[in-house]
Amino acid sequence: MGEFDLIAKYFSRSSAREDVLLDVGDDAAVVHVPPDKRLVAAVDTIVEGVHFLPGAAAADVGYRALAVNLSDMAAMGAMPAWMTLSLSLPRADEAWLAGFATGLYDLADKYAVALVGGDTVRGPLAVTVQILGLVEADGWLTRSHAQIGDTVFVSGLPGEAAGGLAVLQQSLPQSADAQRLIQRFLRPEPRVALGRALRMLANATIDVSDGVISDLQHICEQSDCGAHIDMEVFPVSSALRACFDASKCEQMALNGGDDYELVFTVPPERLLAVEAAIAGGVRCTPIGRIVAGNGVQCFRGGQRLALAPRGYDHFS
């Protein structure tokens, strides 16, 4: 199967979006951006052996490639709309491509994202998705506007994905709890609806790809503030507790990557509005507050804990 057959067979499905004016097949895609919206762009590459396990199911790779990008849209308060796909493949393996396309399109359909173009090359297995989204012209979320006195929230149960990865890597027994963790690692749920609800309400938002501490640290640096986390209220998944000892659970909850939850900060006068806006959606837990200074510190019973190690850094 040649490059063009492959594109035609797996990546040329026409989209239902009326704002796609020209898609796969020309030199570039053309989309309609309404005058009252702003274009939001993000790109993420996932590489075999770095972001997914060697031999991972193709459908899970397709899902992940888009999920990590949808998570960036969530963190901006944006609506995802279109994507381009750059695929580097060691060979044109049809079974792999069919699985990959299924995982990718399943999630794309769920969020009404159209695949409008891409590039296909031979090389080590790596997938790049660029996502394009829309946000109202009057405001989007950033990392840089946290204020002293804001409450820090986290969505979901951070650490579950790291737990799932550990179950897979250490071939731990696949109890129902372990299965839940694996599912959270393989199929993270991008928090797009939460991001939309937080637009104009949260002061600062980031998605958790590298770990809660490490990503909250980015908010602190870019907002010129510090943060205190209260370990007594930090949510720790019962599935995680069932599979790992307490200190391992805590470490995964604070530093585990791949959850794609949102961390966000809310000023006191908007706490009630946020509560109302996020009711009925994913559970969000207040875990601490923004303070003067810099850096993230964790407390239990008034005692400051030794600073937990940082999240993942590709070059450190």
97 binds, among Mg ion, ligand ADP, none (CB under 5 to 8 A by kind): none
The bridge status of strand 30-31 relative to strand 37-47 is unpaired
85 binds, among Mg ion, ligand ADP, none (CB under 5 to 8 A by kind): ligand ADP
Determine if 3 is a binding residue for Mg ion (CB under 5 A). no
208 binds, among Mg ion, ligand ADP, none (CB under 5 to 8 A by kind): none
CA within 13 Å, CB half, 243:
30
Q: In whole angstroms, what is the distance from residue 126 CA to residue 69 CA? A: 15
25 binds, among Mg ion, ligand ADP, none (CB under 5 to 8 A by kind): ligand ADP
The two tokens of residue 40 are 């939001």
* Smaller CB separation from ligand ADP, 74 or 127: 127
**What b/e sequence results for 228-251 when a residue is b if at least 16 CB atoms lie within 10 Å of its CB, and e otherwise?**
bbbbeebbbbebbeebbeeebbbb
* Residue 11 CB, nearest approach to ligand ADP (Å): 3
* Smaller CB separation from Mg ion, 26 or 119: 119
* Smaller CB separation from ligand ADP, 97 or 243: 97
In eight-state DSSP terms, residue 293 is S
* Residue 6 CB, nearest approach to Mg ion (Å): 12
* Smaller CB separation from ligand ADP, 120 or 183: 120
* Residue 24 CB, nearest approach to Mg ion (Å): 11
* Residue 113 CB, nearest approach to ligand ADP (Å): 13
- Residue 236's Cα: distance from chain center in Å? 19
Q: What is the DSSP string of 203-246?
A: SEEEE-SS-HHHHHHHHHHHHT-EEEEETTT----HHHHHHS-H
* Smaller CB separation from ligand ADP, 30 or 137: 30
* Smaller CB separation from ligand ADP, 6 or 200: 6
* Residue 308 CB, nearest approach to ligand ADP (Å): 39
* Residue 85 CB, nearest approach to ligand ADP (Å): 4
174 neighbors 229 (Cβ within 8 angstroms)? no
Q: What is the rounded radius of gyration, in angstroms, for the C-alpha atoms of the chain?
A: 20
135 neighbors 76 (Cβ within 8 angstroms)? yes
Binding-site ranges for ligand ADP (CB under 6 A): 7, 11, 24-27, 85, 87, 115, 117-120
* Smaller CB separation from ligand ADP, 115 or 204: 115
* Smaller CB separation from Mg ion, 118 or 286: 118
Neighbours of 279 (CB within 10 A): 9
Site for Mg ion in 112-131 (CB under 5 A): 119
Site for Mg ion in 62-121 (CB under 5 A): 119
Q: In whole angstroms, what is the distance from residue 117 CA to residue 231 CA? A: 45
What residue is closest to Mg ion based on CB? 119
58-76 vs 176-186: helix crossing angle, rounded to 10? 70
**Which residues, 6 or more positions from 292, have their beta carbon under 8 angstroms from its beta carbon?**
148, 225, 226
* Residue 129 CB, nearest approach to ligand ADP (Å): 10
* Residue 123 CB, nearest approach to Mg ion (Å): 13
109 binds, among ligand ADP, Mg ion, none (CB under 5 to 8 A by kind): none
Question: Residue 209's closest CA among 161, 251, 243, 165?
Answer: 161
Binding residues vs Mg ion (CB under 5 A): 119
